[in-house]
C-alpha cells in the first residue's frame, strides 16, 4: 500500500466507526458492541482480567471511554487500581470519552496508533490487530513495544471474534481476517505469555485477549 492509500484507509476507518457508533445512545453500543449490556460484560471483562497488578492502562481505540470506565470498576473489584488513558482516531470519540471521564480529561489523545508516539509509556496497553492494514501488523506491534510500553509492560491484543466461522465478516477490507489470535501472533513471530477468554452465551461469540510481554 502506498503512503497515500494508507492515509485513505485510516480516513475511511474513522468515518465507518463514527457513523456506526454515534447512532446509538447506550454506552456499550457507542463502543461498537451490539446487543444487551450482559454481552458487553461477557466479551470485554477479559481485558480487565489480563491486568494482574495496579498501573497505568492505555486503551488504543478507546471510542467513548466506556471500556476504560468499566475496567476501572472491574479491576477495583479485585483490589487493582488502574490509571486510565485513551487514544482514538476520532476527535468526536475523544470528546465523548472526556465527557464520560472528566476527572481524566487530559488523559485522552487523538491520533493513529500506527504512527503516533505517546508523551509517556504505560504498564498495560490494549489494542486489536484490525486497527491497521494486514501488512502492517508486525510493524505495529513492534512500534507499540518500542514507544508505548514500560519496561515489563504488557500488550493486551484483543480479538473479539475468536474462532468465528467467517473472519472476514465485520472487519474493514484490507485488515487481516484472523480466526485464532494465538495462531496469527505466531505467524507474525510473537509468543504470548498468557491470555484471558470471555464467552457470550447469547450469540455464542468468544473473546480472547492475548498478553504479550515487552521484549527485555
Contacting residues toward ligand SAM, per CB under 6 A: 13-14, 17, 31-32, 44, 59-63, 67, 87-90, 93, 112-114, 131-132, 158
Buried b (16+ CB within 10 A) or exposed e, 5-37: ebeebbeebbeebbeebeeeeebbbbbbbebee
Buried b (16+ CB within 10 A) or exposed e, 81-95: ebebbbbbbbebbbe
Query: Least distance in Å: CB of 216 to ligand SAM?
Result: 27
Which one, 59 or 137, has the nearer CB to ligand SAM?
59
Query: Least distance in Å: CB of 127 to ligand SAM?
Result: 8
Which one, 139 or 191, has the nearer CB to ligand SAM?
139
Shortest-Cβ-distance residue relative to ligand SAM: 61
Which one, 14 or 138, has the nearer CB to ligand SAM?
14
Query: Least distance in Å: CB of 47 to ligand SAM?
Result: 7
Query: Least distance in Å: CB of 184 to ligand SAM?
Result: 17
Query: Least distance in Å: CB of 144 to ligand SAM?
Result: 11
Which one, 120 or 151, has the nearer CB to ligand SAM?
120
Which one, 23 or 79, has the nearer CB to ligand SAM?
23
DSSP 106-171: GGEEE--TTT---SS-EEEEEE-GGGS-GGGHHHHHHHHHHHTEEEEEEEEEEETTTT-S-TTTTS
Question: For 2, how many CA atoms within 13 A lie in the half-sphere containing its CB?
Answer: 3
Which residues fall within 8 angstroms of residue 110, CB to CB, at 6 or more apart?
Answer: 87, 88, 89, 90, 91, 94
Adjacent-strand bridge partners of 109: 87
Query: Least distance in Å: CB of 214 to ligand SAM?
Result: 19
Which one, 63 or 210, has the nearer CB to ligand SAM?
63
Amino acid at each position: 500500500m502506498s503512503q497515500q492509500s494508507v492515509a485513505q484507509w485510516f480516513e475511511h476507518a474513522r468515518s465507518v466507526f463514527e457513523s456506526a457508533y454515534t447512532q446509538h445512545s447506550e454506552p456499550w453500543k457507542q463502543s461498537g458492541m451490539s446487543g444487551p449490556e450482559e454481552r458487553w460484560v461477557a466479551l470485554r471483562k477479559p481485558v480487565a482480567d489480563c491486568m494482574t497488578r495496579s498501573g497505568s492502562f492505555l486503551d488504543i481505540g478507546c471510542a467513548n471511554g466506556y471500556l476504560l470506565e468499566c475496567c476501572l470498576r472491574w479491576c477495583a473489584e479485585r483490589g487493582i487500581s488502574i490509571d486510565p488513558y485513551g487514544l482514538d482516531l476520532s476527535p468526536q470519540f475523544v470528546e465523548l470519552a472526556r465527557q464520560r471521564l472528566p476527572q481524566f480529561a487530559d488523559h485522552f489523545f487523538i491520533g493513529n496508533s500506527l504512527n503516533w508516539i505517546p508523551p509517556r509509556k504505560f504498564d498495560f496497553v490494549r489494542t486489536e490487530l484490525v486497527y491497521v492494514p494486514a501488512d502492517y501488523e508486525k510493524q505495529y506491534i513492534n512500534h507499540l513495544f518500542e514507544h508505548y510500553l514500560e519496561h515489563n509492560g504488557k500488550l493486551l491484543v484483543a480479538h473479539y471474534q475468536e474462532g468465528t466461522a467467517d473472519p472476514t465478516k465485520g472487519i474493514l477490507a484490507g485488515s487481516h481476517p484472523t480466526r485464532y489470535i494465538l495462531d496469527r501472533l505466531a505467524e507474525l513471530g510473537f509468543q504470548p505469555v498468557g491470555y484471558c477468554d470471555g464467552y457470550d452465551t447469547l450469540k455464542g461469540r468468544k473473546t480472547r485477549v492475548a498478553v504479550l510481554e515487552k521484549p527485555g
